[in-house]
Each structure stands twice: as structure tokens, then as C-alpha cells.
Amino acid sequence: MIQKGLLKEFQKTVGAANVFTDHADLLTYSYDAAVLEPVLPAVALRPTTGEALSKVVRLCNENLLPLTVRGAGTNLSGGTVPSAKGVVVVTNALNQILEINEADMYAVVQPGVVTAKLAAAVEARGLFYPPDPGSQAVSTLGGNVAENAGGLRGLKYGVTGDYVMGLQFFDVNGEPITTGSRTVKCATGYNLAGLMVGSEGTLGVFNKITLKLIPLPADQKAMMAVFDEMENASETVAAIIADHIVPATLEYMDNFTIRAVEAYSRVGLPVDAAALLLIEVDGHPAQVEEDAQKVVSLCKKFGAASIKVAVDAVERDSVWEARRSALSALAKLKPTLILEDATVPRSKIPDMVRAMQDISRQYGIEIGTFGHAGDGNLHPTILTDRRNKQEWEKVEAAIEAIFDKALELGGTLSGEHGTGIAKSCFLEKETGPATILYSKRVKSALDPNNILNPDKIIG
Ligand SMILES: Cc1cc2nc3c(=O)[nH]c(=O)nc-3n(C[C@H](O)[C@H](O)[C@H](O)COP(=O)(O)OP(=O)(O)OC[C@H]3O[C@@H](n4cnc5c(N)ncnc54)[C@H](O)[C@@H]3O)c2cc1C
């Protein structure tokens, strides 16, 4: 329970209509897209100004109340599962695009701006904000920065962190800290923005975000290559990269996922194919033409049964609609879905695809694999029923086996979904104890009372 006096102070700060204590409201903020037990906070607050956000952070610290910031709650690692009896701060009222600067190609946004809203606003001005998580229609830019979110275009354009030019965030006392610049280059002081990207709400609370924009590519071409052998598809991925072609998008889908997507969205996918590659090249029209021809011939060389090049925007959209619906399509098949994002060096994609099949067989569980093959970031997706205890034990063992394989291949536990609660117990496997200790020292220096999203990342 929050003390009455403090609740009143919260009401004064954010307005009584933006303080939520009803059970039904609190339930809404008790979980996110990770498969974890929900935890009820004591209160949820919805500040509508930066000043109110800053004061809420200060009040939480002064009253030793754990605080979890929440954008859209779509993260897949438990980053917004609050602490019991803690405070959830929802950023969806801080949703203004404050500036789009065409001459210097940057945008300044509040943290609650929805990713796709910024992408559309800058596209209307011939500019491009490339990071495109599959959740972009609802995810927020604050959540994207805090998770260092990736997406389908990571191979060519990188991830959210590559676009963060500057930040204004509140430290644990509610003090505004400014880092970075609106210039292309900035070597002034510590790179605090680098520290804050991917910090999952554990080190500070973003209030304003400055994001780099680039010119919108003049042309693009989407292709769908169909393979009768899974191995051929994964080897084609490695061959395209080795040939120094950098598609904007290079996505993989196995047969299990193809069938689920076709049943869900009826876009005409070949349900008998062992695997598909969905590829898009973009840039100057002449370069697009040349890259598309090279991709087609590499797909044929490495055994594609057929390859279809989209002839217009409608066909292109249907390729990407198919890919974007993969998670929802798989989610319909079983009560529980666990989407992993262990990532390997790109040349190891064939080994990782083989390993997923072996793990699925070894543990007797269903795994659909799809994802950003071009940047080594596949999404093995486990379908199960969490209520089945016996199966759940096998699932947990399979997850650990996936992580172990990724590390053995020189990869990482998470390419884009973050550590949160879900992966924090595995972190040391990748980093070793010294890195954990160092991270704990950073955390305790910046948040001595451990109120900013405790239990996340380093536990
Ligand atoms: C269908 C689906 C598809 C997805 N596809 C992708 C994908 O392709 N690529 C990808 O990378 N991820 C993907 N995700 C995961 C998820 O959408 C991303 O992690 C996204 O960045 C989360 O944004 P959000 O606004 O929902 O943040 P939330 O889930 O609300 O929060 C995420 C983290 O950010 C912190 N946070 C939020 N706002 C702030 C702030 N203002 N200051 C400090 N910390 C803050 C939270 O405390 C939490 O730790 C997908 C998820 C779903 C459900």
C-alpha cells in the first residue's frame, strides 16, 4: 500500500485522473510480452509533462519505492514486469514529436511516441528512420532506446542505438541530465547516451530523445525465394553476405512458420516449402537492379526451387505482411509462446538452423524458427503450454540449450530483446563474473537505493 499522503502528492503531480489504483488497472500493468508470472504494482501513474515525470522519479527515490517505466509493454524479456507494491510510470501521454529538422536530419521526440508514427512523419518529408521492430505499430521510442531494439532492417541500417544522437533523462533524483548533441559528430565528455541505450529503465528515465534521420532510399525491390531444403536456404544467406551484398532485409522462415503464417493470413505462401527467404534490396534504382539480379542468381546457385520478385507495391506489401504476422500466427497454435533472440555471427546461421532442429528433436518440443537471418538474429519460437509441468521442464532445458549453442558459436544471448528478468540468470555465462560485478558497481553508483526497475538485467 502507498501511504495516503504520498498518494495525494502523486495526484497533485500528475492529476487525479492519471493515478490508477483499481485492481483491474493494476492487472493491466502487471505483465508484458514475456512469459513470466504477473506482478501487481501498488499504483500506476501517467505523467503528462516532463516536469511531472521528473517529480515522480524524485518522490519514488525519496520514499524508497521501486519504479518501473512502461512504454507499450511489448518487450519480450520482462522489462516492465513491476516490483511487487512498486510504482509503474506509463509514458503514453508523453507522445509528442517535438521537432523534425530536415536540414540537419534529426528528430527530437518524447519517449512515448509510437515508433511507426515517427517513421511515417519523417517519410512524408523524404526522410527515413530505419529501426523497425515487428511491434512498431505500438512500441514506443523510449522502449526502443531502453531495449536497443532492432528489427527487420538491422542488417543494412543497424539498430535503435545507432540512431540515438542525444538524450535528456532524469537521474534517480529527478535531475535532468543531458548527453549527446545534434551534431553528426560528438566527442564531448563521457558517452552517457551509450550507457543509457539498452539500460532497460535501470539507470535513468528518458524524457527527450534526439534521433538521427537519413535520406529515404529512392527505390526498393522485394523477393521471395522458395527452398526445398532448409540447409540450402541458410547457406544462401551466408553466400549473399559473403558476396558483399547488403540487403535492407534478409529474413528466414522455416516450414513450421510458413504453414502457421499461411493458415493465419492467407497470403499465398508455398506451404510445402522447407524454408523461405524474404529479401529486400534498396537504394539508387540502378544499384537496386544490380543487387536484385545478383541475389536472384545466388538463390538459384544455392538451390532455390523458385524465386519471385515483387512487381509492385501490393506484392511487396504482401511479402512483408507475411513476415510481420509470423509471431501472431505462431501464437495461435498453442497457449504459450516463447520467442528467443539468441544471435550468432552471420556465417554461423547454417549451424544455428541445424542446432534448432536438433534441440527440437532432443527435447521433444515444437520450435518454429524465423527471423533476421541476415544479421544472425534468428527467432527460435517455442510453442508449449506453461500449465503442463513436465513439458515446461523440457522447455526450460531447451531454452538453455539454445543459449549455450549461440555462445558456443561465438554469439550472444540477445540480439535485440534485452536481458530483463528472463535472461538475467544466464548473463554471467556470456559476460563472466567481472563484467557483472562492474555493472553492479555502475548501478549502485547511479541508483544507490536500487529503485529504478530493480531485478532487471543484473538481477
Ligand atoms: C509482436 C512483437 C514483435 C516484436 N518485434 C521486435 C523486433 O522485431 N525487434 C525488437 O528489437 N523487438 C521486438 N519486439 C520487442 C519489443 O517490441 C521491443 O523491445 C520494444 O522496444 C519495446 O517497446 P515498448 O514501448 O513496448 O517498451 P516497454 O516494453 O514498455 O519497455 C521496455 C523497457 O524499456 C524501459 N523503458 C520504457 N520507457 C522508458 C523510458 N522513457 N525511460 C527509460 N526506460 C524506459 C522499460 O522499463 C522496459 O525495461 C517485439 C514484440 C512483439 C510483441
Atom of ligand 1 at shortest distance to CA of 77?
19
The Cα–Cα gap between 437 and 441 comes to 6
Strand residue runs (E) in 65-137: 67-70, 87-90, 97-101, 106-109, 127-128
**How remote is the CA of residue 419 from the centroid of ligand 1, in Å?**
12
Contact 203, 197 (CB under 8 A): no
Give, rounded to a whole angstrom, the gap between the first and last alpha carbons of the chain. 24
Instruction: Domain 217-330: give its CATH architecture.
Output: 2-Layer Sandwich (3.30)
- Give the confidence band of 2 by pLDDT, cuts at 50, 70, 90: confident
> Has residue 371 got a pLDDT over 80?
yes
Q: Is 148 in the pocket of ligand 1 (CB under 6 A)?
A: no
| The pLDDT value given to residue 267 | 86
Q: Is 74 in the pocket of ligand 1 (CB under 6 A)?
A: yes
Nearest CA to ligand 1 atom 2: 135
Q: Is 414 in the pocket of ligand 1 (CB under 6 A)?
A: no
Give the range among 54-58, 200-204, 268-272, 313-317 with minimum mean pLDDT: 313-317
Residue type, 343: T
- In terms of phi and psi (left: phi > 0; alpha: psi -120 to 50; beta: otherwise), the region of 73 is left
Atom of ligand 1 at shortest distance to CA of 111?
41
User: DSSP state, 373?
Assistant: G
| The pLDDT value given to residue 318 | 84
H/E stretch holding 363 = helix 349-363
Contact 378, 372 (CB under 8 A): yes
Q: Where are the domains of the chain?
A: 4-90, 97-215, 217-330
Atom of ligand 1 at shortest distance to CA of 33?
53
pLDDT, tens digit (0-9, with 9 covering 90-100), for 174-198: 999 999 999 999 999 999 999 999 9
Q: Is 33 in the pocket of ligand 1 (CB under 6 A)?
A: yes
In the chain, the percentage of residues whose pLDDT exceeds 90 is 91
Q: Is 150 in the pocket of ligand 1 (CB under 6 A)?
A: yes
Contact 97, 109 (CB under 8 A): yes
Q: Is 68 in the pocket of ligand 1 (CB under 6 A)?
A: yes
| The pLDDT value given to residue 97 | 98
| The pLDDT value given to residue 24 | 96
Atom of ligand 1 at shortest distance to CA of 169?
42
| The pLDDT value given to residue 375 | 92
Strand residue runs (E) in 121-202: 127-128, 164-170, 176-180
- The residue whose CB lies within 8 Å of the most ligand 1 atoms, and thus the one to mutate among 70, 77, 145, 414, is 70
- Give the confidence band of 51 by pLDDT, cuts at 50, 70, 90: very high
**How remote is the CA of residue 138 from the centroid of ligand 1, in Å?**
9
| The pLDDT value given to residue 347 | 86
| The pLDDT value given to residue 319 | 82
SS3 of 205, please?
Answer: strand
Q: Is 70 in the pocket of ligand 1 (CB under 6 A)?
A: yes
pLDDT, tens digit (0-9, with 9 covering 90-100), for 339-358: 999 999 988 988 998 999 99
- Give the confidence band of 459 by pLDDT, cuts at 50, 70, 90: confident
| The pLDDT value given to residue 124 | 97
| The pLDDT value given to residue 350 | 87
| The pLDDT value given to residue 321 | 85
- Give the confidence band of 220 by pLDDT, cuts at 50, 70, 90: very high
- The residue whose CB lies within 8 Å of the most ligand 1 atoms, and thus the one to mutate among 69, 129, 179, 208, is 69
> Has residue 322 got a pLDDT over 90?
no
N residues, the chain: 459
Instruction: Domain 4-90: give its CATH architecture.
Output: 2-Layer Sandwich (3.30)
Q: What's the whole-number average pLDDT of the chain?
A: 95
**How remote is the CA of residue 77 from the centroid of ligand 1, in Å?**
9
- Give the confidence band of 6 by pLDDT, cuts at 50, 70, 90: very high
> Has residue 1 got a pLDDT over 80?
no
Q: Is 151 in the pocket of ligand 1 (CB under 6 A)?
A: yes
| The pLDDT value given to residue 193 | 96
The verdict on domain 97-215 having CATH code 3.40.50.720 is no
Contacts of 459 (CB under 8 A, 6+ apart): 424, 425, 427
Q: Is 198 in the pocket of ligand 1 (CB under 6 A)?
A: no
- The residue whose CB lies within 8 Å of the most ligand 1 atoms, and thus the one to mutate among 69, 75, 117, 412, is 75
- Model-level pTM? 0.96
Contact 39, 454 (CB under 8 A): no
**How remote is the CA of residue 70 from the centroid of ligand 1, in Å?**
9
pLDDT, tens digit (0-9, with 9 covering 90-100), for 81-140: 999 999 999 999 999 999 999 999 999 999 999 999 999 999 999 999 999 998 999 999
| The pLDDT value given to residue 320 | 87
Cα 56 from chain centroid? 27
| Same fold yes or no, 4-90 and 97-215 | no
| Kind of pairing between the strands at 87-90 and 43-45 | parallel
